[in-house]
Structure 1
Amino acid sequence: MEPDAVLERVGSGRFQQRLLVLTGLTLFSDGVELMVMPLLQHALEFDETFGAGAAYQTAVTVAVFAGMLLGALAVGLLADRYGRRAATLAYTATIAGFGLASALAPTPAILILARAGVGFGVAGTPAALTLYAEWLPAADRGRRLVSFMYFFSLGALFVTLLAWAVRERWRALLLLAALVPAMTYGLCWFYLPESLRFLVQTGQTSRARQLSCRAARINAIPEADQQDLQTAQLVTARAENHAKRQATRDASNSSGASAVESLAHAPAVVSRSLTSWWHDFWADWPLFSLLATEFLLMATVYYFLVLLTTVVQPETRRAAKFSDATYFNVAMANLAELPGLYAASWLLDLVGRRATIFLFFAVTGWCLLILSYGLDAKADCQAAGCRWLAATLWMARAAALGFNQSLWIFTTEAFATKHRALGLGLASSAARVGGALSPFLIDAYFRRSVAGRGLAATCRLTS
């Protein structure tokens, strides 16, 4: 049977719910490690014993995105070659290992290298997302994939509360943050299954049958339906084995001359295939260029707002330590992403992908414009003014994450199947560059307000 047909019979139930928790924990770990960046950068600024100057503080953040760029280029190859489960485990272990190394780093240079390793591991999220998606029936896939995205915002909220508990002790913060992927790795090692589609495509039909029957039992599929599933899979397996034996006999009966002839024509066949592939991809080049630009702006704006969440607080500009009010405001800004994610999942089907992207990006641009006029890094805020700016920042965070999710879904559906992975990978790689630019934009934003207004205008124009 085809994987989609098997999934329809297996159904959607407790098995997929368990899988959502396991794969979602990997995204939760990513949210923890990424959202610790502004908190870590602020703590390093006032840790005189460690000796990390302003250049090192920025480099710590940039190193994460540099590692993510390298990890994003490798995750597809590893997941396709060794399996989604193996890639998920490898990247989760990388986050845990380098996260621990970050907490124990004796010098700023080693800290930068360790954070680059964390970034490499964070880029493995597509492996877990693919694994989860390939166990979902087609009719239920879109709605359930939205649930996966919530784990990132929950991780961001969790690390803020964690930082609130340990205060300015950044080594303790990094150590506790590293425990999250370490525990996730342990759970995934024992309970995370392999992708059914990957097993079928790699010829592991016996293992695929066992796993699908196990999923059917966990989902409480009736015994009669389970027997029908096993019978259908057995018939399919026999047909596949017969086809393989027939192909082997045909290959052994072929003459040497035909083999030599096929070998002689091989370069021409490969050349025609590459030419056809390049022609199809070049036809989508305008779309790819537009999406790459959107990904670049999306990541630049989103991580800019993440960093801005800490530096916009009045206590940040007056004292070395965050007050309880500062931690509360940062936590609320992270919590504000959840309504944005929910609104995006609702609007995507109501008004469509393009309209949702336009709406969220336009709202983000207007919020940035308001912040650029209303925020002065050199002056203290009045209480009412700070609350007003905090509310604007919360709205910007919600809109930015809504745009993020909408863009990912639209891009996945925009490219043809035969080069969808390449198009999505290349387009989203621009997001790593945008993330690396965000720390520099924070400085420019406060040095001259025209930088913030220019970023806001760009958001509105490109929307």
Structure 2
Amino acid sequence: MESTVTYNLEQCIDHIGFGRFQWRFAIILGFFSMTEAMEMMLLSIIGPVLQCYWPDITDFQVASLTSCVFFGMMIGALSSGILADKYGRRRIGMISSVILAVFGVATAIAPTYNWVLVSRTFVGLAVAGETPVFTLAYEYIPSFARIVCYVCADLCWSIGSILIYILGMLILPSYGWRLLTLVCAFPAIMILLLICFLPESPRYYVASGQQEKAEHVLQKVAAANNRSLPEGKLVDKQAYEECGSIKYLFHARYRRSTVLLAYMWISSCFGYYGIVLLNTELMTLAKETNSSHAVLNTTNSTKCHMLGTNDYISLIFTTFGEMLGVPFLLFLIPRMGRRSISIVQYSIATVWFIVLLFVPRNALTIISIITFFGRLFLNSQFNFMYIYTMEVYPTVVRSAAVGCGSTIGRIGGILAPYIAQALVKRAYHATIGIYIAVIGLGALCACFLPIETKGQSLKQAVVDTDDVWKPTEHLTESSRLTSVDEKNTPNEGYESTMDEKTKKNITE
């Protein structure tokens, strides 16, 4: 009886390689990262301006304005991840883009503080709701280029951060915060148009039992890259499993990872967004220390501090630290295990916060250098959480895992403004001490991560058939030979059929 040659999704995507189709995805990923960065970094410069525009709002209300965005992101990350596994990544990404555009414009025309509060909550929901777009792109990119593309998307995040600071420097002094907010809403419309031209993920189709659609999409991708599908038949070896079910996150194989990653998500989000907000607040503290630069509002105790050109230049300088984090992460990924990378990044970030304890508040140059390196390692670790989470969990629950991780992480984002924007003005050293404790504990959690994903392919099922352990100590010699023959099936050879020239170009 003649055996049928089969291949799985990972082998098929690697065989198709990295071509015109993947470049299109890479560009969209970069544009999306820039848009998300602009919406998030807007929070770090709009607070001081609103205190000048509405003199009655307090530091606590400014912090609440930032926290409400993370509250929206917490809801959006959880719901979008589960819905994307059930109804598709592309569909949820399109809906989120519409919400982002609508409420971005609503923020610009907000007549009151409460209107801004509600609008920014929905903006946060939409930003997190577009996370499935990352998952969609990640599942189309071959394994040898996956990490490189994702880290390059992180580079685009830094470019978006620099862009919003430049726009703030040019627009805020002359035209006000409303025009700046409106400009930030336009890229969401572009993202919506771009998503319309993207197909759904074949991994989602296979995991949801739509085998024919998966094969049809793969044929289109191969044609776009001037390649053909591997010989044989696409076979889904997984048993039926309910897509998007959170219960699989607590499967015996993933339970420990889920608990540890939950705290690591919180500490990464708390640390990164905290240092971004702290960067701006330390500038205002320096102005208060040097009283000649402080302007006291006569109606109440709220101080109005418009950021100056030097402040924006300092913010741009520290953002370049995030850009250096990209080659740093690219250097570490092929050389170190995932667990070790997290330990290194958390530990170095903790050291920089310890140094910050002993720096005078008015030493802006030294503070800028410290926040430069702090943003480098914390941004790298925060984005690394997405990479590691997508590698640990299988297709049937991958979007839900990233969504849940991002959701839990937003708890850190909700708390960060109250520490970095409110508490720091009352208890500076206590604020820095909190950051040291939270980030240091993240390094400790990384030490106990049970799953190492370096060099491993993405799993399709919670219990993938490739992972089933087959004991050999009780096998006869004949059984061992049979086992070896079965292992050396044509499936194992498809990885070697990748276009080596393409692989070399992408790696370089």
**Normalised TM-score (structure 2):** 0.73
Residues in 2 aligned to 1:424 and 1:80: alpha-carbon distance in whole angstroms: 11
CA distance 1:35–1:457, shift in 2 (3 Å): same
CA distance 1:108–1:421, shift in 2 (3 Å): same
Q: Does structure 1 retain, via aligned residues, the 8 Å contact 2:82–2:399?
A: no
- 2:342 counterpart letter in structure 1: I
Q: Does structure 2 retain, via aligned residues, the 8 Å contact 1:167–1:322?
A: no
Map of 1:16-27 to 2, 5 A cutoff? 16-27=22-33
CA distance 1:154–1:213, shift in 2 (3 Å): same
- 1:362 counterpart letter in structure 2: S
In the alignment, does 2:118 pair up with 1:113?
yes
Map of 1:45-60 to 2, 5 A cutoff? 45-48=51-54, 52-60=57-65
Residue matched to 2:436: 456
Match of 1:140 among 105, 127, 145: 145
* Structure 1 unaligned spans of 5+: 241-269
Match of 2:185 among 164, 167, 178: 178
CA deviation map 1:107-138 (0-9, x unaligned): 11111110000000111243111110111123
Residue matched to 2:414: 436
Q: Does structure 2 retain, via aligned residues, the 8 Å contact 1:153–1:337?
A: yes
Q: Does structure 1 retain, via aligned residues, the 8 Å contact 2:270–2:413?
A: yes
**Normalised TM-score (structure 1):** 0.80
* Structure 2 unaligned spans of 5+: 1-6, 289-293, 296-304, 444-508
In the alignment, does 2:193 pair up with 1:215?
no
Q: Does structure 2 retain, via aligned residues, the 8 Å contact 1:341–1:401?
A: no
CA distance 1:236–1:414, shift in 2 (3 Å): closer
Match of 1:291 among 251, 261, 264: 261
Map of 1:118-267 to 2, 5 A cutoff? 118-168=123-173, 169-189=176-196, 191-202=197-208, 208-221=214-227, 226=228, 229=229, 236=233
Map of 1:361-380 to 2, 5 A cutoff? 361-376=346-361
DSSP 3-state at the match of 1:123:
helix
- 2:13 counterpart letter in structure 1: L
Match of 2:282 among 275, 299, 312: 312
Q: Does structure 1 retain, via aligned residues, the 8 Å contact 2:84–2:399?
A: no
Residues in 2 aligned to 1:337 and 1:56: alpha-carbon distance in whole angstroms: 28
Residue matched to 2:47: 41
Q: CA deviation at 1:27?
A: 2.4
In the alignment, does 2:426 pair up with 1:447?
yes
Residues in 2 aligned to 1:279 and 1:199: alpha-carbon distance in whole angstroms: 21
Residue matched to 1:281: 251
Residue matched to 1:394: 372
Residues in 1 aligned to 2:145 and 2:189: alpha-carbon distance in whole angstroms: 31
CA distance 1:462–1:20, shift in 2 (3 Å): closer
Residue matched to 1:104: 109
Q: CA deviation at 1:349?
A: 2.3
Q: Does structure 2 retain, via aligned residues, the 8 Å contact 1:344–1:405?
A: no
Residues in 2 aligned to 1:302 and 1:44: alpha-carbon distance in whole angstroms: 23
CA distance 1:41–1:95, shift in 2 (3 Å): same
Residues in 2 aligned to 1:283 and 1:179: alpha-carbon distance in whole angstroms: 43
Alignment root-mean-square deviation, CA: 2.9
Map of 1:316-331 to 2, 5 A cutoff? 317=288, 318=294, 320-331=305-316
Q: Does structure 2 retain, via aligned residues, the 8 Å contact 1:89–1:185?
A: yes
CA deviation map 1:285-307 (0-9, x unaligned): 44433222222111111111010
- Which has the bigger relative contact order, CA under 8 A and spacing at least 6? 2
- 1:293 counterpart letter in structure 2: Y
In the alignment, does 2:332 pair up with 1:347?
yes
Residues in 2 aligned to 1:333 and 1:279: alpha-carbon distance in whole angstroms: 37
In the alignment, does 2:324 pair up with 1:360?
no
DSSP 3-state at the match of 2:357:
helix
Residues in 1 aligned to 2:35 and 2:393: alpha-carbon distance in whole angstroms: 29
Residue matched to 1:256: none
- 2:41 counterpart letter in structure 1: M
Q: Does structure 1 retain, via aligned residues, the 8 Å contact 2:277–2:417?
A: yes
Q: CA deviation at 1:214?
A: 3.6
DSSP 3-state at the match of 1:349:
coil
Q: Does structure 1 retain, via aligned residues, the 8 Å contact 2:162–2:319?
A: yes
Residue matched to 2:388: 410
Match of 1:87 among 48, 73, 92: 92
More displaced, 280-289 or 131-140?
A: 280-289
Q: Larger % of helix: which?
A: 1
Q: CA deviation at 1:355?
A: 1.8
CA distance 1:203–1:423, shift in 2 (3 Å): closer
Residue matched to 1:77: 82
CA distance 1:388–1:11, shift in 2 (3 Å): same
DSSP 3-state at the match of 2:226:
coil
Q: Does structure 2 retain, via aligned residues, the 8 Å contact 1:27–1:125?
A: no
- 2:192 counterpart letter in structure 1: Y
Residue matched to 1:244: none
Count of paired positions = 410
Residue matched to 2:299: none
CA distance 1:444–1:192, shift in 2 (3 Å): same
Q: Does structure 1 retain, via aligned residues, the 8 Å contact 2:82–2:400?
A: no
Residues in 1 aligned to 2:45 and 2:281: alpha-carbon distance in whole angstroms: 10
Q: CA deviation at 1:6?
A: 3.4
Residues in 1 aligned to 2:438 and 2:249: alpha-carbon distance in whole angstroms: 32
Residues in 1 aligned to 2:135 and 2:199: alpha-carbon distance in whole angstroms: 12
Q: Does structure 1 retain, via aligned residues, the 8 Å contact 2:359–2:366?
A: no
In the alignment, does 2:20 pair up with 1:14?
yes
Q: Percent identity?
A: 25
CA distance 1:84–1:400, shift in 2 (3 Å): same
Q: Does structure 2 retain, via aligned residues, the 8 Å contact 1:348–1:406?
A: no
